[in-house]
Amino acid sequence: MSERPVPRRRRIGVLGGAFDPPHRAHRALAEAALAQLDLDALHIVPTGQAWHKARPLTDATHRLAMCQRAFGDLPGVVLDARELRRTGPSYTVDTLTELRAEHPAAELLLLLGADQWAALPTWKRWRDVLALATVVVAQRPGCVAPGPPGARVLSLALPPLPVSST
């Protein structure tokens, strides 16, 4: 009797951000994730009310439209507006919890830049974030961040693009 191959777990990438505006580095990160991580889907999640931003964000409708233009042509991309529909501050742990409930057998991969990886211990329920998803860190030029000890973390090969929304 031959053994049946074990089916591969569905892999869902999650790339969140203000995307105010989305730029070439965001696009390069999405393309690299799709090419390197064997993703079944990549959720692009514009933040609703950003708890960590001092400046007001552009209206959600406009940021969603910019994300559609920036990422909509990439295969496997899901433009995920759940945080824009939420009232109150947007937290990654809430989004990952919802995605886990929707896809209980999937592997969630949270894509972060090295700057956000370094800031992770300031996030709401950051240990739960690490329990819900494997973190994939895209290194930025001049930013080396070891992150919390014991976390499941992968690196994403990304060409250096010294660009930010600010």
pLDDT for residue 148 = 75
> And the tokens for 125?
């329920």
In the numeric block, which tokens belong to residue 65?
């439209």
pLDDT for position 13: 98
* Global pTM value: 0.89
Reduced 3-state DSSP string for the chain: CCCCCCCCCCEEEEEEECCCCCCHHHHHHHHHHHHHCCCCEEEEEECCEECCCCCCCCCHHHHHHHHHHHHCCCCCEEECCHHHHCCCEECHHHHHHHHHHHCCCCEEEEEEEHHHHHHHHHCCCHHHHHHHCEEEEECECCECCCCCCCCCEEEECCCCCCCCCC
Q: Locate tokens 């809430």: which residue?
A: 94
* pLDDT value, residue 160: 67
> How does pLDDT run along the chain (166 residues), one tens digit per residue?
667 777 789 999 999 999 999 999 999 999 999 999 999 999 999 998 877 666 889 999 999 999 999 999 999 999 999 999 999 899 999 999 999 999 999 999 999 988 889 889 999 999 999 999 999 999 766 656 667 777 778 989 887 666 554 5
